[in-house]
Structure 1
């Protein structure tokens, strides 16, 4: 087995000099771009990135502006379109390093919202999309905008996973934002969801994953958004008893297996199409 290589680099994007983690094992055959969720950072995706790299991916995972090691006021997102432009910037960097390789976009939670908006704006770059508990359709957190002062409603770590170690690590992580939502962030999310709901259907083959016991981003709310952008090649897996962070859940090996089965099938189709062109 090839030795795993992990690097942290800085990529100058529309939001500024973003921190990007990369993983690779041997000569890659495809590129995976990971968009993390609200208040966290790309380092929390180390396990899944390493598994993808061992399956032939060159993994690139930026910290969004205001998150992790990237600059900006913590957990402040003033415009989701800028985050989408940042993802395109990171994609361009990955494409220069790995020219001609197919791209898979993986988005979790709020990163899933960014991934869908990216797919609407840059469909030509995508071989496949994986959405893990994406914020789509409606989101109950936006109800906080009704308050004149946003109340501090921290995320319950027990809602992340049935594995209590996941919640403890989340609480102890200094790069995770544990403060209240910011009004401008919620307003940016609301605008992005509206744009997605009125945007085009997804053209790339898409795998939607969700936990049936996800209280942070309920599956029923997300389904309204999925139905709004559902393309002809949409697949889904709803996992009984699973909570929000499927790549950190007790059945994460099952989840990863479903992801790899989907990607192997779709990337094989991409290779066949290239061979005919």
Structure 2
């Protein structure tokens, strides 16, 4: 039986589950035969993996496979959508998905990607989702609520893509700050709308200036939800180009 291109794409979509600490977690996988890399995507609050089929199709065009998690209480994952969990719990769920991806694709270069809350989670997995501790009266409260050590070896990652990162996660990088510094060799792409009111871009500009390996792409007339706004195709294309040039090329040199 022959499928039109769109039907073919959905035909090869896999909807899968794993048992998390707080319930059954759902994730999607868009397999790519002879893939050159895999992106593990963590969506933002109020979103789920099914919202990212267009990005998965764009990545498939450059032979990059995508896996995406439904945050607890979102999509088909169990839980309360109003209370998706602490950052430590979100990090645990995301780390489990990375482990499943690595078990299935042990030799495939892996890129971690997060949008909004998912970006905070991605930084938390690296021990780098640290608030501006200069505004915290009790530093022990920061250490108790925010992971300050990585939950996965950075050697497992070939790159990191961040979208719409809230200011509360961007205190890391200050000399002497809590948490683990961003790895000096890890390529990072940050995409951010210049009209983002939920996560104003100024904090990301400051954070980018602290890290030599971060490539910040700014989008005029764009808000918080870059991959679902009118300019989504341009953003997805820029992500794909960066993956092809900065990440896939780097992986092939190793």
Q: TM over 0.5, yes or no?
A: yes
Task: Give the match for residue 130 of structure 2.
Answer: none
Tell me by how many angstroms 1:195 deviates. 7.7
Task: Give the match for residue 165 of structure 1.
Answer: none
Is 1:217 paired with 2:199?
A: yes
Is 1:233 paired with 2:240?
A: no
Tell me by how many angstroms 1:46 deviates. 1.3
Tell me by how many angstroms 1:111 deviates. 0.8
Tell me by how many angstroms 1:6 deviates. 0.7
Distance 1:54 1:24 in 2: 12
Is 1:252 paired with 2:252?
A: no
Distance 1:250 1:195 in 2: 32
Is 1:62 paired with 2:54?
A: no
Tell me by how many angstroms 1:224 deviates. 4.5
Unaligned runs of 5+ in 1: 139-191
- Quick one: which of 3, 14, 21 aligns to 1:14? 21
Distance 2:236 2:85 in 1: 33
Task: Give the match for residue 163 of structure 2.
Answer: 132
Q: Secondary structure at the match of 1:25?
A: coil
Distance 1:243 1:193 in 2: 18
* Contact kept in structure 1, 2:44 and 2:118, CA below 8 Å: yes
Tell me by how many angstroms 1:240 deviates. 1.0
Inter-CA distance 125–27: structure 2 relative to 1 (3 Å threshold): same
Tell me by how many angstroms 1:270 deviates. 1.7
Q: Secondary structure at the match of 2:249?
A: helix
* Contact kept in structure 2, 1:67 and 1:75, CA below 8 Å: no
Deviates more, 1:259-268 or 1:34-43: 259-268
* Contact kept in structure 2, 1:212 and 1:241, CA below 8 Å: yes
Task: Please list, as runs of the form range in 1=range in 2, the aligned pairs for 1:188-203 lying within 5 A after superposition.
Answer: 198-203=178-183
Aligned length: 217
* Contact kept in structure 1, 2:126 and 2:180, CA below 8 Å: no
Task: Give the match for residue 267 of structure 1.
Answer: 248
Q: Secondary structure at the match of 2:34?
A: coil
Tell me by how many angstroms 1:57 deviates. 2.1
Tell me by how many angstroms 1:237 deviates. 0.7
Q: CA RMSD in A?
A: 2.2
Tell me by how many angstroms 1:119 deviates. 2.8
Task: Give the match for residue 116 of structure 1.
Answer: 123
Task: Give the match for residue 153 of structure 1.
Answer: none
Distance 1:194 1:218 in 2: 14
